[in-house]
């Protein structure tokens, strides 16, 4: 039977133990994703408490991190989503917030002009991040947010 978290306390404790084990074992998010059959972004988000893992994927990760059976089971519970409140203080997260502050209305205007009234799903969604070389030197981050458009349905 599927279960759902009602509070974040247990998810935060599990995430803390996952991050501790990941660091202790010197594993990358990619290392933890291998063998799950899932995307890097999905597994990372799941291990940070934002998604449930299917039983087989939870066991793969649990084996790599040497998690007990209760923790592996907890990885399969639907979380109480949302990890941020207020203006983020971490510089990396703040830059995403800043991008939305500057380009949010532009994205909304373009989505509505091209698709009509509706939203971009964060449930039927894919995320990818790639590091590419910048012709002017250094690196660039290419982030793809790929969500299904869900039109407004008047009732």
Q: What do you get for the CA distance between the two ends of the chain, in Å?
A: 33
> Which residues are catalytic, by number?
95, 98, 121
Alpha helix segments (H runs only) across the chain? 9-24, 29-33, 40-47, 55-65, 69-74, 91-115
**CA nearest 26: which of 82, 53, 64, 83?**
64
> Is the Cβ–Cβ distance between 77 and 52 less than 8 Å?
yes
Q: How far apart are CA 82 and CA 8, in angstroms?
A: 9
């Amino acid at each position: 039977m599927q279960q759902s978290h009602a509070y974040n306390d247990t998810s935060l404790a599990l995430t803390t133990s996952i991050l501790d084990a990941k660091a202790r074992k010197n594993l990358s998010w990619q290392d933890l994703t291998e063998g799950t059959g899932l995307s890097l972004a999905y597994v990372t988000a799941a291990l940070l408490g934002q998604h449930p893992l299917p039983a087989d994927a939870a066991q793969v990760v649990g084996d790599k991190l040497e998690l007990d059976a209760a923790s592996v089971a907890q990885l399969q519970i639907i979380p109480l989503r949302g990890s941020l409140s207020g203006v983020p203080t971490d510089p990396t997260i703040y830059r995403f917030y800043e991008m939305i502050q500057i380009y949010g209305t532009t994205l909304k205007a373009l989505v509505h002009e091209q698709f009509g009234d509706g939203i971009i799903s964060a449930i039927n969604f894919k995320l990818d991040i790639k590091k590419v070389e910048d012709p002017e030197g250094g690196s660039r981050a290419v982030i793809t947010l790929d969500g299904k458009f869900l039109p407004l349905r008047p009732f």
